[in-house]
């Protein structure tokens, strides 16, 4: 379970001309075990700032975050998340080495289980990141995140850099993994079609605020906020 209550984050900067961005304004939501919560909104509205606060990469100015279990993230760019100088096998093992999990034989066994979970073969282990496809790289990143037995995964536009056909495969894999492992997801996306299929609940975000939250079908089917209406309309017209 994840519970976020009234978190706020303002970025300030500039020496001569002071700048101030209210990136996240009084955001609250909960994600129950095994559920998927989506955040939809335009570029710059504050989605990744929320993700960074959940991961403790930045500290909220106010508000509280309660997380039950480990949380991990899958980023948009799998190719930049993998170390180009390290073989895939090492990248999969590395989180377990850092967290001192298992002995060497145990880690090798776990790597094989993880590959199996994401439907990849052992032949990838001896390759470097430039020797695998974008879809395979994203599966590797998912396997790597799963190595620490998380309860919650943040998916920050996880498939937007992939071909449409590969996107569908990765999204289907994520659904299967959720069922198998009982994971909760925080899914960040621009794509209302994917959100509709993937999320139990969504929040529509505009300039740092949640303007509308609810069951996905209700929000998309009967939008209340002006911003949501425009978003749904523009999506139908596309």
Ligand X SMILES: Nc1ncnc2c1ncn2[C@@H]1O[C@H](COP(=O)(O)OP(=O)(O)OP(=O)(O)O)[C@@H](O)[C@H]1O
Cα–Cα distance for residue pair 44/138, rounded to 1 Å: 24
Q: Is the dihedral of CA 144, 149, 150, 151 positive or negative?
A: positive
Q: Which strand (E) or helix (H) includes residue 18?
A: none
- Residue 49 binds ligand X, judged by CB under 6 A: yes
Distance from C-alpha of 35 to C-alpha of 201, rounded to nearest angstrom: 8
Q: Which of 10, 32, 44, 106 binds ligand X (CB under 6 A)?
A: 44
Nearer to Mg ion, 51 or 145 (CB): 51
> Is 189 a residue that touches Mg ion (CB under 5 A)?
no
- As measured in angstroms, the least distance from the Cβ of 75 to ligand X is 10
Candidate residues 27, 31, 40, 47; the one interacting with ligand X per rule CB under 6 A? 47
Among the listed residues 11, 30, 31, 34, the one whose alpha carbon sits nearest the alpha carbon of residue 177: 34
At 83, list the tokens: 């170390």
Binding mask 132-161 toward Mg ion (x if CB under 5 A, else -) reads ------------------------------
Number of residues that bind ligand X (CB under 6 A): 12
Return d(Cα 139, Cα 78) in angstroms, integer: 9
Report the partner that residue 23 touches, choosing among ligand X, Mg ion, none (CB closer than 5 to 8 A by kind). ligand X
Cα separation, 49 vs 60, whole angstroms: 9
| Interactions with ligand X, residue window 10-39 (CB under 6 A) | 11, 13, 21, 23
Q: Which of residues 24-63 bind Mg ion (CB under 5 A)?
A: 48
Q: Residue 40 binds which entry of Mg ion, ligand X, none, with Cβ cut-offs from 5 to 8 Å by kind?
A: none
Please report whether residue 197 would count as binding ligand X according to CB under 6 A: no
Q: Residue 9 binds which one of Mg ion, ligand X, none, with CB within 5 to 8 A depending on kind?
A: none
The encoded tokens of residue 2 equal 């994840």
Given candidates 36, 48, 81, 213, which one binds ligand X under the rule CB under 6 A?
48
CB nearer to ligand X: give 38 or 41.
41
The whole-angstrom separation of Cα 127 and Cα 140 is 12
How far apart are alpha carbons 49 and 21 in whole angstroms?
Answer: 11
In contact, 200 and 215? CB cutoff 8 Å: yes
Instruction: Determine the residue with CB nearest Mg ion.
Output: 48
| CA–CA distance, 178 with 181 (Å, rounded to integer) | 5
Please give the structure tokens belonging to residue 60.
């909220």
In the complex, the smallest distance separating the C-beta of residue 21 from ligand X, rounded to whole angstroms, is 5
Distance CA 176, CA 155 (A): 15
Residue 46 contacts ligand X per CB under 6 A: yes
Question: Of 59 and 215, which has the nearer Cβ to ligand X?
Answer: 59
Q: Which residues bind ligand X (CB under 6 A)?
A: 11, 13, 21, 23, 41, 43-49
Q: Which residues bind Mg ion (CB under 5 A)?
A: 48
């Amino acid at each position: 379970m994840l519970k976020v209550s009234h978190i706020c984050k303002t970025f300030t900067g500039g020496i001569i001309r002071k700048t101030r961005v209210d990136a996240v304004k009084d955001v609250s939501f909960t994600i129950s075990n095994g559920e998927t919560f989506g955040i939809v909104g335009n570029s710059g509205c504050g989605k990744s700032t929320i993700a960074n606060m959940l991961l403790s990469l930045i500290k909220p100015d106010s508000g509280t975050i309660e997380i039950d279990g480990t949380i991990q993230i899958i980023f948009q760019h799998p190719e930049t998340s993998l170390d180009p100088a390290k073989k895939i096998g090492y990248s999969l093992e590395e989180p377990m080495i850092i967290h001192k999990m298992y002995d060497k034989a145990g880690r090798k066994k776990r790597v094989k289980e993880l590959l199996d979970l994401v439907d990849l073969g052992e032949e990838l282990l001896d390759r470097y990141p430039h020797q695998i496809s974008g879809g395979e790289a994203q599966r590797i990143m998912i396997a790597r995140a799963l190595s620490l037995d998380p309860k919650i995964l943040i998916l920050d536009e996880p498939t937007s850099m992939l071909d449409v056909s590969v996107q569908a495969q990765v999204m289907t894999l994520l659904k299967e993994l959720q069922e198998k492992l009982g994971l909760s997801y925080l899914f960040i996306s621009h794509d209302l079609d994917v959100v509709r299929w993937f999320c139990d609940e969504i929040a529509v975000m505009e300039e740092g605020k949640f303007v509308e939250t609810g069951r996905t079908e209700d929000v998309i089917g009967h939008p209340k906020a002006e911003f949501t209406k425009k978003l749904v309309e523009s999506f139908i017209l596309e």
